[in-house]
Amino acid sequence: MKRVGSSRRGLSTIVTAGIMLSAVAVLGSAVVSWSNGNLKVFEIALSNTAVNSTNKITENISIENIAFCSNCGSVNSKNVTNVTLTNTGTVSVKITQIQLNSTAITSYYYSKNSPYSSSSCPPPSGASTCLPATILPKQSYTVSASLKSPTTWSSQKPDTITVTTARGSTFTTQAAPP
Amino acid sequence: MRSRRALSTVIGAVFAIIALTSTVTYISYSMGILNNYNQSVLTKNQQLSDVNKEKFQISSVTVPNSKLNITVANTGSLPINFTKIWVQNTTTTDWVRSYTPTNNFVAPGGVLTKIGQNIPVYINSANSYNVKLVTSRGNTQQFNINSASVTPLNIQLLAFPSTVPSGFKSELVMVIINNSTSTLVNVSPNNPTLTINNVVNDSPTCVSSGTTPTQYATIAPGTTAIFTWDITVTGTGGDSCTASFTTPLKGGYAQALTSPAIKPTAVSLSSTTYSQNSGVVTNDYTAFRWTEGNTWNTDWSFLGCTTIDFQVTLSNNNQTAGGYKLWLSKNTQIFFMPTTTPPNGKVTPTTYYLVNKTTLSPLGITGYVDNSFGIPNQGGIATLTFGADLPGDNTQTISSCNNNPPTGLVTGIAYYGSIVVYGKFTQNSGDNNGGNYAQTIPFLAVIAK
């Protein structure tokens, strides 16, 4: 006797459905994993960028005083500029470079006994005057920037002093030697 | 018909929820990061705004007992904390020191004094110093001590007036504009070098007084200071005097300055120059005296209805040299006019002519002989007595209330008076080669009591 109104799925339909489900599950899992991974990467990048940018805008250096030294190292050498920097921001600042009239300083004056150094930093004894140096908030640091002999600073001519931090901030001022 | 949700729909929904959750989480995290960054930007802006709002002015700098005493006024809207004071001896090389002041806080609108008193720096007046104050926000202000700057200042020399009668004073004015960025302290000028241009070989002179004022305690950037000297010049015929400086300010920058030429003109007594020289005789108003016969009094209020004699002190400012004098005429007089109508209704002068001398106790006069007394030129001073009723007469001018109507200076009436000087400028009393001269000198207001 034949049943009227009843239907039966075919085997092919079931197989197809299984294949489709498997494909959707696999592809969906892959897409979700990929997007989650990307989002994590973006999160980390965004976090780093935000932290760096925040620190960069938070750091602040005041070029507090500039003293041109005539007899540092040798008499009337006129090649040392003492630049006193004060951290007026709220985060530590690492000073990586100082420039005098766009010339990067690589030599620093220490004392009469061990006048100059461009490699041994900190100096053999006494307070360091070289770079790089990290300045804590509210602290000051004096950099004794030395021009390479026979270059000297010129009296009554303005010099441009530029300080660069590890985060890429620059601070600039001008001063005229006596 | 029975309907069943397909399994794929369920799986898709699960994936959609996961995707949406991840996206929302990421966006929320990003917003949080951006919010933190935004907060940092706002904080930074606030700090920069505070740096700009921080304003202070160095109002005075003194050096008592060789120690710095700086006074600072907080002219901004934020409290200020001074963290460093730098001192550089600019006279010697490579002498730079920094110190932390102990009294370092000043509220908005407040004044902080005695900055620098605690630091171990003794100011040598022979040296120049550059001092810098640093605040916690990084702002600085500096000034120089004992130094009129190492750079030339804007200094001008003026002479007012540039042409003066011989023997009179012209004022030499030095205008200093502090066009530097530093506050100058203890600024005082050197004395001018006076140079005479003798055109007609008549021994002109040029003499300077002292400086007024002697010193400015501070000259802030952009402000002006003025020093003056009185330059007395004599001479004629195009002679002139100039004042010059090689170093205008003590311890300052060498910059040559020369004033405009000050030209003396001779006092001449022609009809054309009479008006401009009418002040050749001047009266010392503080020397006015009167006597009723007992003592000489200095008050402006004297006895009415009483015989009175008067004394005045005159100066002859004619600078013509050569022994000339102003020989006084017997017509020289002092007269008084009532300021209100007297009881008799007649406004008439009461005149007292020049006398030779007056004696006291009792009051008496000796008549003046015409042209018998001369006041020397070039600043001669003489005290003259008036009391005669007529020129050269020995009789007193009478004031009496016993007459009807009363005569002379009457009690209760206020008077104003003038001195009328007649004379001639000659070397000797009897000479007639000089010029006659007359001048009215406004006198005093007096009252008869």
- Distance CA(B276)–CA(B270), nearest Å, equals 10
Q: How confident is the model at residue B178 (pLDDT cuts 50, 70, 90)?
A: confident
Window 75-104 of A: residues touching B by CB (8 A cutoff) are 82, 84, 86, 88-89
Q: Which residues of B touch A (CB under 8 A)?
A: 7-8, 11-12, 14-15, 18-19, 22-23, 25-26, 29-30, 33-34, 36-37, 40-41, 43-44, 47, 83-84, 86, 88, 90, 93-94, 96, 98, 132, 134, 136-138, 140, 150
Look at A32 and B19 and tell me if their CB atoms are within 8 Å: yes
**pLDDT of B282-335, one tens digit each?**
888 888 899 999 999 988 888 888 899 999 999 888 877 888 899 999 999 999
Residues of B in contact with A67 (CB under 8 A): 88, 94, 96
- Across the interface, of B22, B93, B136, the residue whose CB is closest to A71 is B93
Provide the pLDDT for residue B309. 93
A178 touches chain B (CB under 8 A): yes
Residue B176 distance to chain A (closest CA, Å): 22
Mean pLDDT along residues B113-138:
86
Beta strands in B263-343 (DSSP E): 263-265, 281-283, 289-291, 296-297, 301-302, 309-316, 325-328, 333-338
pLDDT in tens, B21-48: 888 888 888 888 888 888 888 988 898 8
What does the pLDDT read at residue A109? 85
A69 near B CB under 8 A: yes
Taking phi first (over 0 means left), then psi (-120 to 50 degrees means alpha), and beta for anything else, what does residue B186 get?
left
Nearest residue, CB atoms, B94 vs list A64, A70, A140? A70
pTM of the model: 0.55
The average confidence (pLDDT) of chain B is 85
- For A25-70, the DSSP string reads HHHHHHHHHHHHHHHHHHHHHHHHHHHHHHHHHH--EEEEEEEEES
pLDDT tens by residue, B240-266: 899 999 989 887 888 899 988 888 877
From B46's Cα to the closest Cα of chain A, the distance in A is: 11
ipTM exceeds 0.85, yes or no: no
> What's the pLDDT at B374?
94
The hierarchical CATH code for the domain B154-265 is 2.60.40.10
- Structure token pair of residue B445: 């207001």
Provide the pLDDT for residue A120: 58
Q: What is the pLDDT of residue B149?
A: 58
B276 pLDDT more than 60 = no
Residue indicated by tokens 């009483």: B306
Q: How high is the pLDDT of residue A136?
A: 94
Question: DSSP E strands: which ranges in B80-177?
Answer: 80-89, 96-99, 105-106, 111-115, 129-135, 140-145, 154-160, 163-165, 169-177
Confidence of residue B225 (pLDDT cuts 50, 70, 90): very high
Q: Give the pLDDT of residue B229.
A: 94
Q: How large is the average pLDDT for residues B378-404?
A: 90
Q: Say what percent of chain B tops pLDDT 90.
A: 33
Q: Is there a contact between A86 and B134 if contact means CB atoms under 8 Å apart?
A: yes
Provide, as residue numbers in chain B, all residues whose Cβ is less than 8 Å from the Cβ of A17.
7
Instruction: List % helix, strand, coil for chain B (3-state, nearest 5).
Output: 10, 45, 45
- Are A25 and B11 inside 8 Å of each other by CB? yes
Q: Span B406-429, mean pLDDT?
A: 88
Q: Is A114 on the interface with B (CB under 8 A)?
A: no
Same CATH topology for B56-145 and B154-265: the answer is yes
**B4: pLDDT strictly greater than 60:** no
Q: How confident is the model at residue B148 (pLDDT cuts 50, 70, 90)?
A: low
Measured between beta carbons, which residues in chain B are less than 8 angstroms from residue A9?
none
With an 8 Å Cβ cutoff, are B30 and A69 in contact?
no
Instruction: Using alpha carbons only, give the angle A152, A156, A157 rounded to the nearest 5 degrees.
Output: 65
The arithmetic mean of pLDDT across residues B86-103, rounded, is 87
Q: A–B: how many Cβ contacts below 8 A?
A: 87
Q: Which of B19, B36, B138 sits opposite A50 (nearest CB)?
A: B36
pLDDT band, very low/low/confident/very high, at B102 (cuts 50, 70, 90)? confident
Q: Is the pLDDT score of B175 beyond 90? A: yes
Does pLDDT of B58 surpass 90?
no
- CA-nearest residue to B48 within chain A is A60
Higher pLDDT, B368 or A109: B368
> Average pLDDT by consecutive 10-residue portion of chain A (178 residues)?
53 83 84 84 86 87 90 80 91 92 87 68 75 91 86 83 92 88
Domain B281-448 adopts which CATH fold? Coagulation Factor XIII; Chain A, domain 1 (2.70.50)
Q: Name the fold adopted by B56-145.
A: Immunoglobulin-like (2.60.40)
Domain boundaries, chain B: 56-145, 154-265, 281-448
Q: Which residue of A58, A62, A178 is in closest CB contact with B40? A: A58
